[in-house]
């Protein structure tokens, strides 16, 4: 009976250790300027498509489709040290001049995912499994003719929060101005 109680207690303890949502990255475009956002991986002929920051959003504008559609793509967010096999969630708020799906590739995801752009602000999520640990999110929008705005992007996953680092004072005398000789350590130096 005592062994059964111990087993049940241990099982309850392990089951009680539940996963929590960990935020890997959050980008609020209203806090950025063109100067500190340009250069985050943008590939397109500027005569066909443009990416900028307008009215607190990441703004995309295109007057014609690219061929192939991935000829206009950008990396609006990256994460550090993604884990292969972990399911990540991309959270977004987006609005466009027309309704259409846009493709995206997240940290090595295969096949490409999609999220819907509508003419009203939409907050949504897309889940995907990490298959390559490069941390890159690529939005491919060459087929989208018109404008869309992204207010924010956030990446999360379920897991355990890392243990806090504990600092241990290894020096008993932290006075760095005392000469070695006065500390009795002159022959060590």
Give just the sign of the alpha carbon dihedral 166, 170, 172, 173: negative
Give the count of alpha carbons within 13 A of 74, CB side only. 21
In the prediction, which pLDDT does 76 show? 85
Q: How far from each other are the two terminal CA atoms of the chain, in whole angstroms?
A: 62
Cis bond before residue 49 (omega within 30° of 0): no
Residue 105's DSSP bridge partners are: 138
User: Consecutive 10-residue runs of the chain (189 residues): their mean pLDDT?
Assistant: 49 58 92 66 72 89 84 83 88 94 73 83 88 80 91 92 68 62 60
In the prediction, which pLDDT does 189 show? 45
In the prediction, which pLDDT does 108 show? 63
In the prediction, which pLDDT does 96 show? 96
């Amino acid at each position: 009976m005592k062994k059964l109680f111990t087993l049940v207690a241990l099982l309850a303890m392990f089951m009680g250790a539940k996963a929590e949502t960990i935020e890997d990255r959050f980008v609020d475009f209203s806090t950025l300027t063109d100067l500190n956002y340009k250069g985050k991986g943008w590939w397109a002929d500027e005569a066909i498509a443009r990416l900028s920051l307008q009215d607190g959003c990441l703004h995309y504008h295109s007057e014609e489709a690219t061929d192939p559609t991935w000829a206009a793509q950008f990396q609006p967010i990256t994460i550090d040290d993604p884990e292969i096999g972990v399911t990540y969630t991309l959270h977004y708020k987006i609005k466009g001049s027309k309704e259409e799906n846009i493709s995206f590739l997240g940290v090595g995801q295969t096949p490409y995912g999609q999220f819907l752009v509508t003419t009203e602000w939409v907050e949504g999520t897309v889940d995907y499994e990490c298959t390559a640990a490069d941390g890159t999110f690529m939005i491919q929008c060459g087929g989208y003719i018109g404008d869309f705005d992204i207010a924010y992007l956030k990446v999360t996953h379920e897991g355990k929060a890392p243990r806090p680092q504990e600092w241990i004072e290894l020096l008993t005398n932290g006075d760095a101005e005392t000469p070695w000789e006065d500390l009795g350590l002159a022959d060590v130096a």
